[in-house]
Amino acid sequence: MYRESARELLAFIDRSPSCYHVISNIKEILASDGYEELQEGRPWKLEAGRNYFVSRNGSSLIAFKLPTKEFSGYQIISSHSDSPTFKVKEHPEIVTENKYVKLNVEKYGGMICSPWFDRPLSVAGRIMVKEKEKICTRLVDIDRDLVMIPNLAVHMNREVNEGYKYNVQDDMLPVLGDETAKGSFLRMVAENAGVLEESVLSTDLFLYNRVKGSFWGANEEYISSGRLDDLQCAFASLQGFRKGNSTKSVAVYCVLDNEEVGSATKQGAASTFLGDTLRRINKGALRDEEAFLMALSSSFMISADNAHGVHPNYVKKSDPTNRPYLNEGIVIKYSANQKYTTDAVSAAVFKMICERAEVPYQTFVNRSDMMGGSTLGNISNTQVALNTVDVGLAQLAMHSPYESAGVKDTFYFEKAAEEFYSSWIDGTGDGEYLICRE
């Protein structure tokens, strides 16, 4: 069961080289399950007992199940579709020495730079195409080893193993080919999308690591892949969402873009996307504003974004008493400075969910002398105030193009998500919460 969940995860990641492909693949899965696609720019006619999804920008998506009875609140799991990488700039080709063609790129998010060298890479994303008087989106995935960022030999960079600071503009531009490759990049992109080069108006294209996901370890107890952060949580929560069933709450599955660059976009956690969708669900159920606010008080959100496991070579980098490990369960993340939203209430609710699902959980807090990252939970709460817990799955090498995690943990989160989506929460009074199930 563990290996099957991990195998399905790696297959999903392999099909999802960019945030746009992530959402396209989720749409395909939901549509095959009978979910109806809605458009933000058109009226919604919602029916009790039906399932729906809506996307924004092609890189964020919210799916929901309307119960057949009057609902008490919303049960939400939120994750993100993007990962640190390099974005291809406009006018990307740079010719060097009349012998090489390179691509001009810039950093997207806070990646570890060094592992991007000397490995096969390619390009994926979306292009905007002119079709007569209409502008259309086309996905692009040049599914072959296309470019590489070659290291400088140690003989010419003796400081490389002594804390060398990489300059992205000078050190990290991928090589596309020799001088014959000049003028070929946009043509290849257009051919991949099945359109004419002259019809391409603009692009959102990114590099991605071509190395396939793998099982490894003495007992194959670990997995490695690009984009585990955060597609491991996005995929596991999707599987739990598909299996969960509650007649008393609206199950909401949410995947947002741009978490790695601060979420302050129209499709990020700081946008109105989640709040707009919840309000339209409320309106579609013929409920007034007071009913909406009452529902929020009995709602709960799990902000799911991977967590740092204790590193075997850097054990002192972890907190002395909160030490999560790979394959030992879902990680509940805490921060006194509210980088994570977890408090005593939300942690207690989530622990009970895990206990009912019979899956283990553990805790993460940064060392008191180290600043950690943040995630989408506290940012989402500025738009829709909900009881929220921040959780993740323990991994190593976060923000590397090839990250590692435990083979069991995807399954654990699938089971917890299924239990969560089969439950509802009743706020019975100040400080009292009842977690109910059919």
Mean pLDDT over all residues of the chain? 95
Residue 417 is predicted with a pLDDT of 98
Residue 430 pLDDT more than 70? Answer: no
pLDDT in tens, 7-39: 999 999 999 999 999 999 999 999 999 999 999
pTM of whole model > 0.75? Answer: yes
Higher pLDDT, 428 or 393: 393
Residues in the chain: 438
Q: Please give the share of the chain, as a percent, with pLDDT higher than 70.
A: 99
Average pLDDT value for residue range 278-304: 92
Residue 383 pLDDT more than 70? Answer: yes
Residue 328 pLDDT more than 80? Answer: yes
Residue 319 is predicted with a pLDDT of 94
Residue 435 pLDDT more than 90? Answer: no
CATH architecture of 1-83+226-437: 3-Layer(aba) Sandwich (3.40)
For residues 283 and 208, the answer to whether their CB atoms sit within 8 Å is: no
3-state helix, strand, coil in the chain (%, to 5): 30, 30, 40
pLDDT in tens, 113-167: 999 999 999 999 999 999 988 999 999 999 999 999 999 999 999 988 988 899 9
Average pLDDT value for residue range 323-351: 95
Q: What is the DSSP letter of 332?
A: E
Most confident of 290-294, 371-375, 413-417: 413-417
- 14-30 burial, b at 16+ Cβ within 10 Å, e below that, comes to eebbbbbbbbbbbbebb
For residues 91 and 97, the answer to whether their CB atoms sit within 8 Å is: no
Average pLDDT value for residue range 237-260: 95
Average pLDDT value for residue range 78-104: 97
- State how far the Cα of 351 lies from the Cα of 300, in Å rounded to an integer: 13
Residue 221 pLDDT more than 80? Answer: yes
3-state secondary structure of 192: helix
Q: Please give the share of the chain, as a percent, with pLDDT higher than 90.
A: 85
Higher pLDDT, 377 or 97: 97
pLDDT in tens, 48-77: 999 999 999 999 999 999 998 889 899 999
| Domain ranges across the chain | 1-83+226-437, 87-209
Residue 428 is predicted with a pLDDT of 60
Confidence class of residue 382 from pLDDT cuts 50, 70 and 90? confident
**Distance set, CA 123 to CA 83, 119, 336, 433 (Å):** 14, 13, 40, 48
Residue 399 is predicted with a pLDDT of 97
Of 86, 125, 106, 102, whose CA–CA distance to 181 is shortest? 102
Going by their DSSP bridges, the two strands 60-65 and 249-256 should be labelled as antiparallel
Residue 431 is predicted with a pLDDT of 67
Higher pLDDT, 385 or 193: 193
- State how far the Cα of 138 lies from the Cα of 217, in Å rounded to an integer: 39
Residue 242 is predicted with a pLDDT of 97
Residue 374 pLDDT more than 80? Answer: no
Residue 69 is predicted with a pLDDT of 80
Domain 87-209 has CATH 3.40.50.300: no
Which two three-digit tokens encode residue 153?
Answer: 């030999």
